[in-house]
Amino acid sequence: MSQFWKPGTEKPRLLDDEEGGVLFFAPSFSSSSSRFGYSSIEKQRQRLPVYKYRTAILYLVETHATTIIVGETGSGKTTQIPQYLKEAGWADGGRVIACTQPRRLAVQAVASRVAEEMGVKLGEEVGYTIRFEDVTNTGVTMVKFLTDGVLLREMMDDPLLTKYSVIMVDEAHERSISTDILLGLLKKIQRRRPELRLIISSATIEAKSMSQFFQNSKKHRGIEGEVVGPITEPAILSVEGRGFSVQIHYVEEPVSNYIQSAVSTVLLIHDQERMGDILVFLTGQDDIDAAVKLLSEEVQNRGRNSSGLIVLPLYSGLPRAEQDLVFTPTARGKRKVVISTNIAETSLTLEGVVYVVDSGFSKQRFYNPISDIENLVVAPISKASARQRAGRAGRVRPGKCYRLYTEEYFNNEMSAEGIPEIQRSNLVSCVIQLKALGIDNILGFDWPASPSPEAMVRALEVLYSLGVLDDDAKLTSPTGFQVAEIPLDPMISKMILSSSHLGCTEEIITIAAVLSIQSIWASGWGAQKELDEAKLRFAAAEGDHVTFLNVYKGFLQSSKLSQWCHKNYVNYHAMKKVIEIREQLRRTAQRLGIVLKSCETDMLVVRKAITAGFFANACRLEAFSHNGKYKTIRGSQEVHIHPSSVLFRVNPKWVIYYSLVSTDRQYMRNVISIEPSWLREAAPHFYHQQRPNPMLH
C-alpha cells in the first residue's frame, strides 16, 4: 500500500509505508547534539540500531578478513562502527582506521559529527582527507574519513596501505569507478597483509555478490602449510531496525515537469505540514538554480504566508561557505528548503530535515566506446538511490518522502541498482590511476564488474597519444608520472603541463577551474535574452574558453562583487568556487615545479595548450552545412555546437569541445576554434601515424 497525491492540488492522503508497513524504532529522542552535552550524545549513540550489534561487529572483524554490513539508512553504520573499532583498540600503536565515502561533502560532514561525538577537535584523533584538503595530524589521527579516490592516491606512496588496520568502504552500493578500483586493489592487498581487515557497508548493497567477490581470496598459510590468520570467507551481518519511520508518498499520475512539481510539492508541504526542513533532490546546477528562482518568486507572490521559507541550493559547484549553510540550524519559526543534487544522497544527516522530495532523476555519465562519446544525461535513478534519498529523512525524528513518480513505476520499472560507473564511463582516468599503481595487466585486473574491453583499448589509445604511456603501455617519464600526479582528468592535466611550455599557465588554470564546474552563467534565472546579451559583452571570437578568461578578468576588476555578477548574469557562487579551485590548482602546479606564467593577451598559445590536452575532441564543420553540422574527427559522429556557446551560429571550421550533452542531438559544450595543423602537432600518433585520417587533409 502507498500514498498518493497530485503535486500542487491536494493534501497527501496518508496510507501506508512502501517497504512493508510503517517502520518504528524506539523513537523517543529528538534532541540535537549541539544543544545537549556529551552524555546526551552518548545516550543517542546507544539508541541507534547498530549499537545492539557492537559486540557482533567487533567479533566478526576480529575473526574475518572481510565483513559485509548491511543496515538501514540512519542505523549508525558510518558514525558508529569506526568508533567501536577505535574503542576496541584497532587504532592502538599508531595504526589508523579508515572509512571511505564516495563524496567529499559526506566525508567532511561525517568526520565533524564523529569528532563531536568523541568530544575531540576535528583534525586531531578524528580527521579527514579530501582532494586538495588534508585535515589530519600524523601520529595523532586514529579515525580518518576520506574519499575512495584519495585512498587510491595514497596507494601511490604506500601500495599496501600499511598504516591502516581496518578499512571500511562505506556506501559501497554507489559503485563509483574509484570504489570499484579500490575493491579490486584491497582484495589484492589482503593477500599480502593478512592482518588488514575490510568492512564493506551500505544500506542497499547486494551482499551476496559482494561476498562472492571477496570469497576468492586465497587462504593465508603458515610455514608448514597450515591455515593461519583470519577466516578469508567474508562474514555478512544484517543490522535490523532503523531510526524513525519514513512515510512514502507517490504521485497518482506521472509528472510532466519535475522542477515545477518539486516546487509545488515544497509549497504544499509548507502550507499543510508541521514545521521541519525540506530536502529536494533534482539533477544539476541548472535545474537547481531554476527551482530556487521559481520557489523564491512563488514565495514573493504569496507574501507573508511563505515568508518563513529559506531556500538554499546545494551542488558541488558551490563554494564551501555556501555549502556549509545547509548544516546551520534553522531559526525558530523558519523552514529551510535545501535543493540538491545527489551529493546529499548518501551518508549525510541534515538535522532539521523532516521532508524529502525526490524527483526520481539524476545526472549520469554514459559512454559509448564505439563512438568514443561520453554524455552526461538526466536519467532515472535506481531503487537503491530512491531508498537512500528517502533515508535522508527519519534520522532524528519521523519523516516523510514525496516521490514525484508513481508507485507502479517504482515497483515495476525502476531498476534495483544502477549500472556501475565503470561500465558507463570513459576510462582514461581509471587506466592512468591503475598504471600509476603499477597494475600493468589492466584487462586481467580482478574487477567487481568488468569494464568493456573496447573502452579500455580506447583509453589506452588516448593515453598513448597524450604522451602519458609509452610503446610498452608504461607511464612515460616525466609526462606520464606528472599527469598521474595531478588529481584531475588526464586531459586537463596534460593541458596544464603543456601550458607550462607555452607560457600560459595562469590562463590555463583559470580555464581548468571554470571547466570543472557546471556553468559560470546564471542560466537558471529564466531570462535567456538578457543572459545572451550579457554573454556578448564578454564573448571572444576564439570561443568559450577565452570568453571565460574575460569573465574572470571582469570579476577580479569588480573586486569580486556579487552586484557585478548579478548585472552581468554571471553566477556569483560559481565564480567564488572558480577562485577556490584555481587556488588549489596553483598550489598543485607549484608542487610539481610548474612555473606559473601569464601570456597576457596572446590567446593563440592558450588555444594550443587546450588542443594539447583535448585533441581527441576535435570536430570539423561539414562542407556546405547550413545548420552547423559537425563531425568528430575520431568517430565521424554528427555533433552540433550547443546554443549556450558563444560560437553557436558562428560555426568556425575546426573546433575542440570540452564535453557533449545529448538531448534531441549531440551538442558540444564549451567550444574553442583551432587550426587543424595543431592537431597533428599535438598528437601525431592519434591523427596521423597510426591511421592516416583523411579528414585532416
Ligand X SMILES: Nc1ncnc2c1ncn2[C@@H]1O[C@H](COP(=O)(O)OP(=O)(O)OP(=O)(O)O)[C@@H](O)[C@H]1O
- The footprint of ligand X (CB under 6 A) covers 33, 48, 71, 73-80, 113, 203, 243, 346-347, 349, 351, 391, 395-396
Closest approach of Cβ 144 to ligand X, in Å? Answer: 16
Closest approach of Cβ 489 to ligand X, in Å? Answer: 28
Residue closer to ligand X by CB (options 395, 424) is 395
Closest approach of Cβ 80 to ligand X, in Å? Answer: 6
Hey, what's the cell of 511?
580555464
Closest approach of Cβ 100 to ligand X, in Å? Answer: 13
Alpha carbon distance 26, 29 (integer Å): 8
State the amino acid at position 255 in one-letter form. Answer: V
If DSSP codes are grouped into helix, strand and coil, which group holds residue 511?
helix
Q: Residue 693 in contact with residue 633, Cβ under 8 Å?
A: yes
Q: Kindly report the number of other CB atoms within 10 A of residue 594's CB atom.
A: 20
Residue closer to ligand X by CB (options 396, 641) is 396
Residue closer to ligand X by CB (options 298, 351) is 351
Helix (H) or strand (E) holding 339: strand 335-340
DSSP 8-state assignment for residue 637: -
Alpha carbon distance 672, 610 (integer Å): 9
Residue closer to ligand X by CB (options 74, 524) is 74
CA 471, 472, 478 angle in degrees (round to 5)?
Answer: 75
Residue closer to ligand X by CB (options 145, 654) is 145
Closest approach of Cβ 45 to ligand X, in Å? Answer: 8
N-term to C-term CA, the chain: 65
Residue closer to ligand X by CB (options 395, 545) is 395
Q: Residue 565 in contact with residue 622, Cβ under 8 Å?
A: no
Residue closer to ligand X by CB (options 48, 97) is 48
Residue closer to ligand X by CB (options 77, 669) is 77
Alpha carbon distance 341, 351 (integer Å): 18
Nearest to 80 by CA among 57, 51, 40, 101: 51
Closest approach of Cβ 275 to ligand X, in Å? Answer: 17
Closest approach of Cβ 351 to ligand X, in Å? Answer: 5
Alpha carbon distance 108, 112 (integer Å): 6
Q: Residue 267 in contact with residue 7, Cβ under 8 Å?
A: no
Nearest to 7 by CA among 312, 261, 316: 261
Q: Residue 224 in contact with residue 60, Cβ under 8 Å?
A: no
Closest approach of Cβ 170 to ligand X, in Å? Answer: 7
Closest approach of Cβ 255 to ligand X, in Å? Answer: 26
Nearest to 316 by CA among 559, 573, 109, 85: 573
Alpha carbon distance 667, 377 (integer Å): 12
Closest approach of Cβ 326 to ligand X, in Å? Answer: 11
Residue closer to ligand X by CB (options 326, 570) is 326
Q: Residue 606 in contact with residue 672, Cβ under 8 Å?
A: no
133 bridge partner residues: 130
Residue 625: CB partners within 8 Å, gap ≥ 6? 651
Cell numbers 543572459 correspond to what residue?
531
For 659, counting Cβ atoms within 10 Å of its Cβ (0-12 exposed, 13-18 middle, 19+ buried), the class is middle
Residue closer to ligand X by CB (options 341, 510) is 341
Alpha carbon distance 678, 694 (integer Å): 16
Residue closer to ligand X by CB (options 347, 645) is 347
Closest approach of Cβ 429 to ligand X, in Å? Answer: 26
